[in-house]
Structure 1
Amino acid sequence: MARTARKFSKGASAKVGRAMKKRKAGTLRSGGSGRKVTSRKQAIAIGLSEARREGKKVPPKKSAKSAAKKTARKASKTSSKKSTKKTTKKTTKKTTTKKSSKKS
């Protein structure tokens, strides 16, 4: 068996592996609702959270709030740039038409 690079500690990797096997077998259930887990990402998250609970060495949970803030900030920047460009073009067109109508 070839050695692969691990992202987490041995104990955490074992927990994730166990969760993946349970998902494949169809016996992995989510916490509160008890629904069957079919998503690969969700199975990994369950394995990592179990490893955290046992005190294994796992990187800290990423905050969804900060990720949402970053995407919102990017979206607002691009939309504000587009809107300013459109408004400046409109105002310049209006002023040129007014000047030309006054001359004739």
Structure 2
Amino acid sequence: MPEQETIERAREDAREGKSPSTQAGEFVREEMEHIREGEHGARSAKQAIAIGLSKARRAGVKLPPPKRGSARTKKQAARDTRKARSRRKPSRTRSRAVRKA
């Protein structure tokens, strides 16, 4: 899950009319920071970029699927995009629990 600050930076870029790749750059930057801090292990910069772009798609940045990716990668990118565009209906059970608490 991307940090709130990263999402806000990307949204600001969108408001300023910057391209989707610039918006996605915020997510890639965050991923690079994670690697430098030793938080988790993308083995290469290329892998970190891929993870960042995937997070950007899930956050709603309008990025196309990669042109030179495998069928599986393209399918995953399309799934990420769909996931970002759809809003989940709140759980009835959890909503009721919150009201009663």
- TM-score normalised by structure 1 residue count: 0.43
Higher relative contact order at CA 8 Å, sep ≥6: structure 1 or structure 2?
1
Which structure's CA Rg is the greater one? 1
Give the TM-score taking structure 2 as reference length: 0.44
